[in-house]
Structure 1
């Protein structure tokens, strides 16, 4: 029998743990010649998520869990589950049931057809705000243009299947700021996509606020591209050239018209403008230096407080 490892990161998902377990179990009950394990990764939850997981594990041998010592982030939680998976294939999905477990059947079907990575292409239901849909679409279009990976529109989802051979490759990576959505594309292998409509969160509220989304966006951009550094250099050359040309014209005009060069307001605005440009460039460079700083320290990506296997 083939074995499928289902990795589910959870952060304050106490109400969703029993629900997603039952739905995943129902899916595999329809499959012959397959067995499964569910690896819950408790990413520093402050509610009773760990208690719910442990109760499931006591009564169900297929339930495994990893408890972090604190919140290390969603991507590291998925990576921890992948590091501990033992199946012929691994499926990662969120605990809030926005990733429908019933789609597992289609993912496994495509895997059996010979694909190493089966990713999902998400579309949002009508009740999701137009702002969230539009910003998500624009972000992945921008990421595709500015980086070295090509994320399909709507393909930015951590709901995917990976063959064990792909999981082994990811397991040997030790990036401080890991971005699995980009890595699954960058690695190559045989890939195919499956469309799905995101469901509603079953219980609780999402802890993925604007600050976390912005940090995740910058991680994706800087993890797969140095183009922002080139952009900073180009901006420097362009504005320097514009300043030289503009000042030259201003000087020539003052000689021809026999007027003095004056205008403190324009001078101050120019200084402030170019000062802002310099800060932007320094900020871009600082982000990359910060990533190097975190990487060379070689601290572990996560710390396990407890596990049952």
Structure 2
């Protein structure tokens, strides 16, 4: 970044966005880690937008106290727990920076990588992705299910989500504004991040264990999260069930012709109730699955047509630092 003697010198503002939900044990670790990184980067101003997603412990009070001591910390207090995707959306909406860096408050995404993200941004990248090169801190089951999700999603959807890339990234203001223009209420942020595109660079890092507290994502929540991602960016599941139904219909016609032919040749054969029951249960199960899948898409239409806001803010704590 160069300036002439007649050009005003402007220092870019970097917004760090961190959702919090019952993370009281880790706030001090987060503060120390972020401040250590900020002190090591010259010619950049920082703001840290902390979003309290309806925490039930002392998370909010600690964050408010932190914003009182340090004006670079701002706190967006949501009216209740809306979920991580909504909290992340709120933080991005409130961020004022020339670039925005979403990061998990549990510090599994290392703040030490922020200078690398900023360097790539200064070189001209509009989006800098942080990719987990090593997920050894995750369980074997979580690593395998994540791998299966990325592979399955990218085969079904035209919008490809980079493998092992979470929310941790840097986005230039032009990418942030594009993201904010997307109107949907049910937000699968990984997919939205990928959908907007822009000039992208990838940097690798090693995922760390949590500094404090416990994960808020159970196996059931992760399953629903994966289902949300697939139905948000692909109609292929509906098309697949169309093919399944067509194949089933052809098999049924073929079996019916076989039964008619055998009856004409050998007469009526009374045995066969077991096979008939199995066939009825099998095709009935397929119908229930297909109806359930159709319901997922109809449910998304229902939620979108109500046009409820993604989140509600009770109050913003801390005064934006304009220095």
Give the alignment's TM-score, normalised by structure 2: 0.92
User: Does the CA-based 8 Å contact 2:137-2:208 persist in structure 1?
Assistant: no
Distance 1:175 1:69 in 2: 20
Shift of residue 293, structure 1, vs aligned partner? 0.6
Structure 2 residue 105 is matched with structure 1 residue 95: yes
Describe the SS at the equivalent of 2:187: coil
User: Which of 160, 163, 169 is residue 153 of structure 1 equivalent to?
Assistant: 163
User: Does the CA-based 8 Å contact 2:54-2:77 persist in structure 1?
Assistant: yes
- Residue 181 of structure 1 corresponds to which residue in structure 2? 190
Distance 2:245 2:252 in 1: 11
User: Does the CA-based 8 Å contact 1:251-1:261 persist in structure 2?
Assistant: no
Describe the SS at the equivalent of 2:167: coil
Distance 1:3 1:237 in 2: 57
User: Which of 55, 58, 65 is residue 75 of structure 2 equivalent to?
Assistant: 65
Describe the SS at the equivalent of 2:160: coil
Shift of residue 256, structure 1, vs aligned partner? 2.8
Distance 1:126 1:85 in 2: 32
User: Which of 111, 123, 130 is residue 113 of structure 1 equivalent to?
Assistant: 123
Structure 2 unaligned segments of length 5 or more: list them.
1-10
1:236-260 per-position Cα deviation (integer Å, ceiling 9, x unaligned): 1011111111221232233333452
Shift of residue 128, structure 1, vs aligned partner? 2.6
- Residue 136 of structure 1 corresponds to which residue in structure 2? 146
Corresponding residue pairs, total: 308
1:105-160 per-position Cα deviation (integer Å, ceiling 9, x unaligned): 111111111111111211444343211111111111101001121122212x0101
CA RMSD of aligned residues (A): 1.3
Distance 2:270 2:239 in 1: 35
Compared with structure 1, are the counterparts of its residues 264 and 184 closer, same or farther at alpha carbon in structure 2 (3 Å cutoff)? same
Distance 1:58 1:205 in 2: 27
Give the alignment's TM-score, normalised by structure 1: 0.96
Describe the SS at the equivalent of 1:159: strand
User: Does the CA-based 8 Å contact 2:137-2:207 persist in structure 1?
Assistant: no
Shift of residue 51, structure 1, vs aligned partner? 1.1
Describe the SS at the equivalent of 2:164: coil
Shift of residue 186, structure 1, vs aligned partner? 1.2
Describe the SS at the equivalent of 1:280: helix
- Residue 48 of structure 2 corresponds to which residue in structure 1? 38
User: Which of 245, 248, 251 is residue 242 of structure 1 equivalent to?
Assistant: 251
Structure 2 residue 226 is matched with structure 1 residue 217: yes
User: Does the CA-based 8 Å contact 1:68-1:304 persist in structure 2?
Assistant: yes
Runs of 4 or more consecutive aligned structure 1 residues displaced over 4 Å after TM superposition: none
Distance 1:163 1:31 in 2: 18
Structure 1 unaligned segments of length 5 or more: list them.
none
- Aligned positions of 1:1-309 closer than 5 A: 1-155=11-165, 157-260=166-269, 262-308=271-317, 309=319
User: Does the CA-based 8 Å contact 2:24-2:59 persist in structure 1?
Assistant: yes
